[in-house]
Amino acid sequence: MSVRVRTVCGVQDQLGFDSMPKKLIKVTPSRLGVWADCRLRFRMTYLDRPTPPRGGPWAHSTMGAVVHNALKGLFDLPADQRTPDRAAALVGTHWKDDGFADREQAMVFRERAAGWVHDYVRGTDVTEEPVGLERWVSAPVGTIIAEGRVDRIDQRGDELVIVDYKTGRHALTTDDARGSQALALYVLAARRTLRKPCTKVELHHLPTGTVAAWEHTEESLARHLSRAEESADEFQLAIDTLAAGGDPEVLFPASPGRQCGWCDFRRSCPTGQATGPALDPWAMLSP
């Protein structure tokens, strides 16, 4: 039997025999995103114990979490109580001031988030019962176990639709829906978990009230899966090599760039600190 040798970041690691069964690798969209963004941040997030200290909360993340919680709370109500005013009130119920410059700024954005949710519910049929809300899906697909938490799963006719809420600054397009690896993995996991057909994904952008949708084919899903498998192979090899005594600095190098300004582990990363000043916690809010 031949011995397989693979390389990560210039480091070779002997992994064993080709005939040995390959263990499925658990993959979430967040894990894939962190790996693509910065391998040092991947190590600090998922491997280093104790985990290095993180930075404080971000105001835009607070807003996103509040909006998600308000919409989940709305769908937990009976259908006849899912009104725009009730939805806006739920923003206040779930609101936190974490990450904002001061109470005054927080109140301005609380009203803005309430307006987003009010208008969204006014323009959306919220009487249908979703198949899932903040639903965890997990299923073996190819060489990975694709899993994650889906904001909402609708059933329209005989098929499931993956719905993802967005509260960022910029409107989203069909290309964003088509190119989202996270949504594609949710499709693959949801159809296996819930045993129903699923090809359509939607990005619901609350600030603009727009929906960007895409209908996947088996070919487009296969492309997303292939890229996820490649990334999973890379980070699992790095993890295994580290466990075998590999150099963490070589296996998990920093990737300096604009993202260093808002990295949660900036205080533990001299490379990131050298790229420029840290952003204020409210810097990524919409103007």
pLDDT digits (tens, 9 = 90+) for 44-57: 999 999 999 999 99
Q: Is residue 250 part of a domain?
A: yes
Q: Is residue 257 part of a domain?
A: yes
Which residue range forms the structural domain that includes residue 165? 132-225
The predicted model gives 255-280 an average pLDDT of 95
In this structure, the number of other CB atoms found within 10 A of the CB of residue 46 comes to 15
Q: Do 219 and 136 have their domain in common?
A: yes
Number of domains in the chain: 3
Q: Do 211 and 257 have their domain in common?
A: no
pTM: 0.90
CA angle at 62 for the pair 56 and 67, rounded to the nearest 5°: 165
Q: Is the pLDDT of residue 4 over 90?
A: no
pLDDT tens for residues 100-149?
A: 999 999 999 999 999 999 999 999 999 999 999 999 999 999 999 999 99
Q: Do 111 and 158 have their domain in common?
A: no
Where does the pLDDT of residue 2 fall: very low under 50, low under 70, confident under 90, or very high at 90 and above?
very low
Of 8 and 28, which is predicted with more confidence? 28
Q: Do 168 and 203 have their domain in common?
A: yes
